[in-house]
Amino acid sequence: MFGGYSLSHGPLNDIRLFDTRNSTWMQVTVDSTTPDAKMPQGRYFHGADIIHSKQAIYVYGGLTKPTKSSNNRTLDDFWQFDIQNQRWSEVEKDGEWPPSLSSHTLTSYRGSTLESLILIGGISPGSDFHKLVWEFRVDTEQWQAWSTRGQGPNGIFGHSTVFHAPTKSLYVFGGYIYEQQQARLSNKLFSLNYTTKVWTELNELGTSLYLPRPRFFHSAVTTDDFMFVMGGRIFPWNISDTLYAYSYNCNRWINLMSEALEKVGPLPTQTYAQAMTIEPDGDAAYIVGGWGTDSQCSVLRLELPEDLCSLWPSRDSCIRMAGCGYCAYKVGSDILSEVCHTNTYECPLQESPVNASKISNSGTSCTDPVVNRNCSSVTDCASCVQLGCYFCNNVCTPNATCSISLLSDCSPNNCSKKEPDQCRQTPGCDWNCSKRDCVPLLKGQEASPKVCPAPCMHYNTCGSCLETAHCRWSTQLDECISAAYQPAYCAGGVCGLVLQADDKQYCPAPCSSFTQCSDCLVHAHCGWCAGPGNGEGICTEGSNDRPMHGTCNDVYLKVNPNISEYDLNETYTWNWKRCPPEDECTNGHHNCAAESQRCVDRADGFECECGPGYKPTNSTKVSAASTVCEPVCPLGCVRGQCVQPNKCQCDFGYVGANCSIQCQCNGHANCEGPDKLDKCLTCHNNTMGTQCEKCKPLFVGDPSNGGQCVPCLEYCHGHTSICVDNSTDFDFEEFMDFESERFVKSLKEGPKTHARCLKCTNQTAGNRCEDCIVGNFRGTEDHHDPCRPCDCHGHGDTCDPVTGDKCNCKNNTESDACGGSGKNSAHPCWMVQCSKCKEGYLGTPTSGHQCYKQMPVDAKMCFDAKGIDECKVTPKALLPGEIVFFVIQPRFMNVDIRIMIDVTQGNLNVYMSTHDDTYVAYPNATTGVNTIDLDAQYGRWDNGTQKTKDSFLEREALGLRTYITITQPNTILSVKNLRDRLVITLPEEYHSLESTRFFLVLQALDPGDSAKKSAFGIVFSRQDQLHIDLFVFFSVFFSCFFLFLAACVVAWKAKQAADVRRARRRHVVEMLHMAKRPFASVTLNLSTRSKPKKSAHCDLRPVAVEPTDDGLAAVATVFVSLPGGQSPCVKLALASSLILLVRQFPTGGRTFLRRRSAHAAPPT
């Protein structure tokens, strides 16, 4: 943060850094070690911004304090602060250069190939409002003035400017603008396209709803979707006007301080000229300093939601806001969860509760650019062709009657860039003296004088300054300033008392204007050069020692150049504290009243004594300035005032020498004299009669005994000027307006009491017009306020006559909850009457819109919006002109919907839409029959284009059945003269059934000569699903089952065959492998002995030995004879065992050992 104004230090030039993480301030130390180190002067109302690629802050112009050498406080210097090196450097002037400016904006632009700074607006003492737009190229360090087109401000200061990167445009809001030859506080929003250099006034493109009030010295920041405007000088200030958001897509303002929005934390106070910035991710903004009731030194953090639409708490407030959509989950009539979101995104509610249905309303879309408007309201060529219109014969029209349709075809302003003499000679142009520019002459405006007065800054005295109409004098700065930039130049009270043209008498008079010493020495900067005569001298500027310009002789010689040498030899004395002795009574330098006082000379000054017949008002004599003498009347003046000695001026209604006798005129007239007290001269106070005892016609009261006659207009609270006595037997209502004057002339006198007011206006009634006509309300307790119709949004006709609430809501509506009715309340109760649908109905029943009966799929309803079970016995007819509303929400998301309307008697018009605000219903003032019409937002612009993307389909019902299939989403359907059945099919592949409702409107028609004028019938909708035939189902099931089983058997048999084949192949491979292994034969003796010997022992030799790799162990296999004699099936078996070779065989077994060793030897 750089610069600003402090009450204790004046203009500042320090730089401070705010740590957003720790919320602490740190002062930046500026590098001043180099010899060429410089720093800018302290300043405020300057323009500054940062260039991120260079990490540098640029500062231009601003206001500073006056210096001894110059009173000019407006700067034109340009500084750069290197953030990394913390060093200031002044940008040298080279080529074109903006003038001295303050209260302007300096905004950074960042394109794909270059970065620059854009300077807009400001005030300059030499030319007041600055009109040009300047660009500073960072790469070349050169200023360049733009040549802009379109409806832009002719001069502006105290505004805000942000650069919106997605549109490559600068958005300028508020401030003081120069239009129609004067400065005005503005709430206009302009956009300036960087590429085309074309201005566009955006307030005319969109709705005027929710526009911020005019303001200046506010602050603004931007994101890709919104611009946020904070604070500013507002007259009068209200906290509800503090914070606004502007939607670029919707061209719509959003009041973020509305009571409908929930706010957390301390609310902002009244501030202006504060600084504001936003975090790069757009999550939070910071507001620093500013002025309010006092200078602010706080930092306010404003946290912003990712989606502004989520701030709206209710469904109605959500869908009223363009660009917002609503979605919720509910079970029955209970809302489980709901959210308001930007309608360009999907509903953020992801998890669906059990048995819950999803409802949604996409609201009004803002994806289309704002280009549609009334062409005839545009007055300049550039803005006209930007809208797709044609500029022909200085008129913007939607019809192609000429070829001017491109920006390049527009001719430049004939009054631009001309000198004064050339400007006045150009037809339709005039030289504006305050702007020092050639401007178009307004219709009915006279040209300015040929010689313009000098700029206000060139006047050095108060008198000469105030002789110019647009100049004012600052007593604190002793400077002449322009009224156009006074709000900025004198902000914070730095100018002190500011004198205007009507305050010339308060201008400090020059010393030479005083001719008496007493008047001269009253002013501290004046002194008196006394001459030799009695009180003669000259008043001139000086100090305690001497005059400012030489000696008193020099002063005399300057004033009287022809003075003689004799007179120069006289002694002239300088008097600064006290006047020299003189006889004021003889030289006329006294101020005694000639009639009542006489002057008495004293050694020190003079004294005024009272003359004959007068006495002092004070008990003792005081100075001449305070002595006041009053006349003396010896008899006194009881009801009057003594104006001259022995002469009284009686009060009204009193006579006599001492004004003690009252006239017999009831205090309303003077009488002829003390002996003719009942002879009244002229009756006053609206009275009449010989003794002013009656009121004049059209006045009410009893004037006897000093009573008052009140005008009928006041008696009737300002709603009529005619009143008569309540006992008058006269039907005035039968008189026409042209007979009212004749009736008034017939009145003899006004009523005394109990008057009756006639012809009450402003929707009032009662004997004193103190009541409202039924169906109207006043809004306050003050009977002087007019009554206005009950705001029941067309659903009721009566309400509370004072507050406007308690509407007799019809059409299935009810009043929404409301807060207090104070002036700061965002939604007084009378504004939300009948603005909410009853349970079981949907819609936004405001501005002629209606509530729609919720009709479930597969439910049947009669034309009276009741279920078929309720109305089938005694159905209620739909009379001609009557309207019934239904809304159908799909049950299944993947099944087509069919809506069927069966008319059993009468005929109907049928309307259908996917929006609840498509149709408005209102009674026709001529026929009294309700009329269905499209809402204006679904109509067409003057150039024939549609305002929305909805498609329109109109059909005439013919024959017994009418079938309509709608394949276009967002279709507005109209079916005329339906007499039998209508079937509307909505295929699910063309419609988003999960988020779309279908709003149906039925209106009965008058069949003409037919006796059956009432309409009867039913409405129902279906989402048909296929029914299951059990025989077919089981036949197909078992057929498929057996086919599947047969396929499984075939597959199993194929697998078995494959397994057998694979086993055979593996067996062949095994046999071949075993055939390749080494083999040998042994001889086995199986003969048995009849009885073996106990001592016999045979060596056991293995059949085969399979040694391990190291030769230490082996697997030995031997034959084993199994017991059992001759009966066992198996008598012989092979047994294997792991053995150690060195332990198993005796050492004498050499043959085997050789074989083992040979076998165990490693292979060669």
Average pLDDT over residues 69-75: 75
pLDDT in the model for residue 371: 39
> Of 584-588, 651-655, 664-668, 1125-1129, where does mean pLDDT reach its minimum?
1125-1129
Residue 622 has pLDDT above 50, yes or no: no
Residue 1064 has pLDDT above 90, yes or no: yes
> What average pLDDT does the structure give for the chain?
83
d(CA 219, CA 22): 24
H or E element that contains 567: helix 565-568
Average pLDDT over residues 347-354: 80
d(CA 172, CA 161): 5
pLDDT in the model for residue 621: 45
What is the rounded end-to-end Cα distance, in angstroms, of the chain? 94
Domain limits of the chain? Answer: 5-232, 308-349+358-363, 456-506, 593-632, 635-692, 693-771, 840-1022, 1104-1160
Residue 367 has pLDDT above 80, yes or no: no
Phi, psi of 1092 (to 5 degrees): -70, 155
Q: Does domain 693-771 have CATH number 2.10.25?
A: yes
pLDDT in the model for residue 382: 66
Q: pLDDT tens for residues 12-27?
A: 989 999 888 888 888 8
d(CA 284, CA 302): 5
**Of 525 and 86, which is predicted with more confidence?**
86
> Full-prediction pTM beyond 0.75?
no
Query: Among 2.10.25, 2.30.30, 3.40.50, 1.10.10, what is the CATH number of 635-692?
Result: 2.10.25
Residue 162 has pLDDT above 80, yes or no: yes
d(CA 248, CA 254): 11
Closest among 637, 619, 638 to 628, alpha carbons compared: 619
Q: pLDDT tens for residues 569-607?
A: 677 889 988 888 888 888 888 888 888 888 888 888 888
197's CB contacts (< 8 A; 6+ apart) are 133, 146, 147, 148, 149
**Of 883 and 936, which is predicted with more confidence?**
883
List b or e across 565-581, with b for residues whose CB sees 16 or more CB atoms inside 10 angstroms. Answer: eeeeeeebebbbeebee
Q: What's the Rg (C-alpha) of the chain? A: 52
SS3 12: strand
Same fold flag, 635-692 and 693-771: yes
pLDDT in the model for residue 1042: 94
Confidence of residue 1163 (pLDDT cuts 50, 70, 90): very low
pLDDT in the model for residue 323: 85
Phi, psi of 408 (to 5 degrees): -70, -20
Average pLDDT over residues 925-952: 79
Residue 338 region, left (φ>0) first, then alpha (ψ -120 to 50), else beta?
A: beta
Residue 736 has pLDDT above 70, yes or no: no
pLDDT in the model for residue 227: 93
Q: Encoding tokens for residue 71?
A: 């009173």
d(CA 853, CA 849): 13
d(CA 380, CA 384): 6
**Of 1024 and 527, which is predicted with more confidence?**
527
Architecture of domain 593-632: Ribbon (2.10)
Residue carrying the six token digits 């119709």: 789
Q: Encoding tokens for residue 21?
A: 């993480």
Q: pLDDT tens for residues 261-306?
A: 878 888 888 888 889 999 888 888 999 988 876 666 788 889 888 8
pLDDT in the model for residue 98: 92
d(CA 341, CA 143): 44
Burial classification of residue 609, based on how many CB atoms lie within 10 Å of its CB (0-12 exposed, 13-18 middle, 19 or more buried): middle
- Which amino acid is residue 1143, in one-letter code? R
Superfamily for 5-232? Kelch-type beta propeller (2.120.10.80)
d(CA 516, CA 537): 8
SS3 627: coil
> Of 496-500, 512-516, 1081-1085, where does mean pLDDT reach its minimum?
1081-1085
Residue 1159 has pLDDT above 60, yes or no: no
Confidence of residue 718 (pLDDT cuts 50, 70, 90): very high
**Of 704 and 828, which is predicted with more confidence?**
704
Confidence of residue 174 (pLDDT cuts 50, 70, 90): very high
pLDDT in the model for residue 236: 82
Cα atoms in the 13 Å half-sphere on the side-chain side of 255? 18
Q: pLDDT tens for residues 795-824?
A: 888 999 999 999 999 889 998 887 654 443
Largest distance between two CA atoms of the chain: 196
Residue 825 has pLDDT above 60, yes or no: no
Q: pLDDT tens for residues 852-869?
A: 999 888 888 898 888 888
Cα atoms in the 13 Å half-sphere on the side-chain side of 936? 4
Q: pLDDT tens for residues 975-1007?
A: 999 999 999 999 988 888 888 889 999 999 887
Q: What is the 3-state secondary structure (H, E, C) of 1047-1059?
A: HHHHHHHHHHHHH
* H helices, E strands: number in the chain: 15, 81
Average pLDDT over residues 1059-1079: 89
CATH (residue range 456-506) = 3.30.1680
Confidence of residue 188 (pLDDT cuts 50, 70, 90): very high
